[in-house]
């Protein structure tokens, strides 16, 4: 089976390729799989607004912005759309840095991200045939030469095999070796000593200044060679594995670091950071430079079906698979509703249903297998169990120093189910957004409880008054409308 298929899957086996829970990273995959109608349901196209800010707010200053959203809602795909816009390609050179595989999610420090910016722009420049000035690299060398970790000695040892023994012998080879060493350290940062971290943080202003010097050096060359400016795209900090305290530390406690960088940056960030009751006030982005990418709502605020949202999601599925792979329209509809309009959950549900279908039809030729309602139900049960676990008590969920209990979460979810639009941020909402039990929808900025979590509320007898004659609760996975 090919590693890439740019057409709808014709068999269940091909779904593992076309429904990978990964962003679309190039124009070909965008053309094959992206659904423009999503932006109509979301209210408007956020990327067009970001393009506007980049083109018209950066004449005499740099753009610093953030694209907020749940992990898996499509932010990195939107970044791909952004950098492939002709007007952006004409004026900017993107440097995409995905921190998900570069940083230790539980032990990263603000200075680690600054180092990745330095290495990222130098490496990108090299692909364009540009070299950083040796005197600029000298500043990097001096910063590390004063470090508690004797980097130069370590680099000398690793470079002996190539004949390069010092910065003086070859600054660029020294920098390349440094990049490998530092990337290894920041990826496994739990091994760092506290005194090393504290010493480096005390010198972070100097590191920011060096970062600006490196960017300025290469900006001059980029302007001459390409007539463009740098645009840094830092992706992945919204992933659930990244510690809440680490993300907050960088964007709240060290927000001045971002403001001090002399370049344009766009971050993808978790939705909960925007709605934290106090932290959002201190984020280093102007309010008009914060963009929220909401999920597609499958139910309206009154819990009646939203046909436009469901149609948009159906079209996304149809771009990736032949709909005849579903044995019945009800199986397809349940997948759409159970996803709550969240794209990664949508793909996960179908892939989990494929596993169930293959078990059930193991005697059939693989090309003859189809998805039925039972397969979809098995996938929904798996997702429901995962969501129930996320509503448990966690050491990271606190309000006024006290842990937020499961009962408090369920009570708040019941209120959100009833109120929707009349929701005010607090620590409990913040927790529910982090666990994605609550979703934020379109430009009206209303909140809804995900269909999977509506099921959980109903099983805990929280929504008995809303049960219909057929036994279902509006807004849940069984109430297709």
Nearest 5°: the CA angle 61, 203, 147 is 130
- Rounded mean pLDDT of 416-436? 80
For the segment(s) 43-145+189-292, the CATH number from 3.40.50, 3.90.25, 3.90.550, 1.10.287 is 3.40.50
Q: Cα–Cα distances in Å, from 442 out to 10, 46, 293?
A: 33, 11, 8
What span, in angstroms and rounded, lies between the C-alpha atoms of 429 and 157?
52
Only one residue has tokens 């913040």, namely 430
* Angle (deg, nearest 10), helices 406-419 and 451-459: 120
Is the CB of residue 345 less than 8 Å from the CB of residue 339? Answer: yes
pLDDT per residue as tens digits for the range 103-146: 999 999 999 999 999 999 999 999 999 999 999 999 999 999 88
pLDDT for residue 454? 94
Strands 438-441 and 446-449: antiparallel
Phi, psi of 399 (to 5 degrees): -135, 120
DSSP bridge pairs for 230: 93
Residues sharing a CB contact under 8 Å with residue 302, sequence separation 6 or more, in sequence order? none
pLDDT per residue as tens digits for the range 52-65: 999 987 666 799 99
Flag whether pLDDT at 288 surpasses 70: yes
Phi, psi of 45 (to 5 degrees): -90, 105
Band (pLDDT 50/70/90 cuts) for residue 3 is: low
- Rounded mean pLDDT of 301-317? 94
pLDDT for residue 378? 97
Host H or E run for residue 28: helix 27-33
Q: What percent of the chain has pLDDT over 70?
A: 90
pLDDT for residue 396? 67
Is the CB of residue 442 less than 8 Å from the CB of residue 297? Answer: yes
**Structural domain spans, the chain:** 1-17+296-481, 43-145+189-292
DSSP bridge pairs for 295: 441
DSSP bridge pairs for 305: 299
Is the CB of residue 270 less than 8 Å from the CB of residue 434? Answer: yes
Flag whether pLDDT at 226 surpasses 90: yes
Token pair of 151 as six digits: 């980097």
pLDDT for residue 53? 93
Cα 86 from chain centroid (whole Å): 24
**Which of 176-185, 318-327, 413-422 has the weakest average pLDDT?**
413-422
Q: Which residue would you say has higher pLDDT here, 425 or 325?
A: 325
Name the range with the highest mean pLDDT among 51-65, 164-178, 320-334: 320-334
pLDDT for residue 319? 96
Q: Decide: helix, strand or coil at residue 318.
A: helix
pLDDT per residue as tens digits for the range 230-283: 999 999 999 989 988 899 889 988 999 999 999 999 999 998 888 765 665 678
What span, in angstroms and rounded, lies between the C-alpha atoms of 431 and 397?
6
Residues sharing a CB contact under 8 Å with residue 187, sequence separation 6 or more, in sequence order? 101, 102, 103, 104
pLDDT for residue 151? 66
* 96 closest CA partner among 236, 214, 225: 236
pLDDT per residue as tens digits for the range 173-218: 999 999 999 999 999 988 888 998 899 999 999 999 999 999 999 9
Host H or E run for residue 236: none
pLDDT per residue as tens digits for the range 11-44: 999 999 999 989 999 999 999 999 888 888 888 8
- Rounded mean pLDDT of 145-157? 69
Flag whether pLDDT at 398 surpasses 70: no
Residues sharing a CB contact under 8 Å with residue 163, sequence separation 6 or more, in sequence order? none
Flag whether pLDDT at 399 surpasses 80: no
Token pair of 52 as six digits: 């506007």
pLDDT per residue as tens digits for the range 77-103: 999 999 999 999 999 999 999 999 999
Q: Decide: helix, strand or coil at residue 128.
A: coil
Flag whether pLDDT at 471 surpasses 70: yes
Band (pLDDT 50/70/90 cuts) for residue 446 is: confident
Alpha helices in 361-424 (DSSP H): 373-390, 406-419
What span, in angstroms and rounded, lies between the C-alpha atoms of 125 and 132?
8
pLDDT for residue 410? 92
Flag whether pLDDT at 481 surpasses 70: no
What span, in angstroms and rounded, lies between the C-alpha atoms of 133 and 387?
52
pLDDT for residue 24? 94
Is the CB of residue 222 less than 8 Å from the CB of residue 230? Answer: yes
Average pLDDT, the chain: 89
């Amino acid at each position: 089976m090919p590693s890439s298929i740019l057409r709808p899957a014709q068999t269940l086996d091909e779904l593992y390729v076309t429904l990978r829970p990964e962003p679309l990273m190039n124009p070909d995959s965008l053309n094959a799989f992206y659904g423009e109608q999503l932006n109509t349901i979301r209210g408007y196209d956020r990327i067009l607004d970001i393009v506007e800010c980049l083109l018209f707010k950066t004449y005499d200053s740099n753009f610093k912005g953030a694209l907020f959203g749940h992990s898996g809602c499509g932010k990195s795909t939107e970044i791909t759309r952004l950098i492939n816009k002709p007007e952006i390609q004409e004026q900017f050179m993107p440097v995409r840095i995905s921190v998900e595989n570069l940083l230790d999610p539980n032990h990263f420090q603000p200075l680690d991200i600054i180092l990745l910016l330095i290495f990222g722009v130098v490496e990108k420049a090299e692909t364009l045939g540009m070299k950083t000035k040796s005197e600029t690299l000298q500043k990097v060398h001096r910063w590390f030469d004063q470090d508690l970790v004797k980097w130069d000695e370590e680099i000398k040892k690793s470079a002996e095999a190539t004949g390069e023994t010092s910065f003086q012998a070859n600054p660029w080879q020294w920098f390349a070796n440094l990049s490998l060493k530092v990337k290894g350290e920041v990826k496994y940062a739990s091994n760092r000593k506290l005194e090393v971290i504290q010493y480096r943080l005390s010198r972070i202003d100097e590191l920011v200044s060096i970062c600006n010097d490196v960017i300025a050096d290469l900006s001059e060359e980029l302007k001459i060679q390409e007539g463009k400016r740098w645009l840094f795209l830092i992706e992945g900090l919204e992933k659930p594995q990244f510690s809440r305290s680490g993300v907050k530390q960088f964007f709240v406690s060290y927000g001045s670091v971002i403001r001090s960088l002399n370049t344009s940056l766009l971050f993808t960030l978790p939705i909960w950071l925007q709605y934290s009751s106090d932290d959002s006030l201190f984020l280093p982005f102007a309010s008009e430079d914060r963009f929220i990418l909401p999920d597609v709502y499958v139910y309206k605020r009154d819990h009646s079906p939203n046909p436009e949202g469901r149609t948009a999601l159906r079209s996304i599925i149809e771009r990736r698979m032949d709909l005849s792979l579903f044995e019945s329209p009800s199986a397809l509809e349940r997948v759409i509703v159970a996803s709550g309009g969240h794209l990664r959950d949508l793909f996960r549900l179908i892939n989990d249903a494929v596993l169930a279908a293959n078990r059930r039809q193991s005697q059939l030729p693989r090309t003859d297998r189809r998805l039925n309602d039972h397969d979809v139900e098995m996938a929904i049960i798996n997702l429901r169990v995962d969501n129930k676990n996320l509503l448990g008590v966690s050491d990271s969920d606190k309000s006024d120093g006290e842990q937020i209990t499961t009962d408090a979460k369920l009570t708040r979810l019941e209120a959100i189910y009833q109120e929707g639009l009349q929701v005010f941020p607090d620590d409990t909402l913040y927790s529910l957004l982090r666990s994605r039990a609550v979703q934020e929808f379109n430009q009206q900025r209303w909140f809804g409880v995900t269909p999977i979590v509506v099921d959980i509320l109903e099983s805990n007898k929280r929504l008995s008054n809303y049960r219909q004659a057929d036994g279902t609760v509006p807004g849940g996975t069984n109430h297709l409308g």
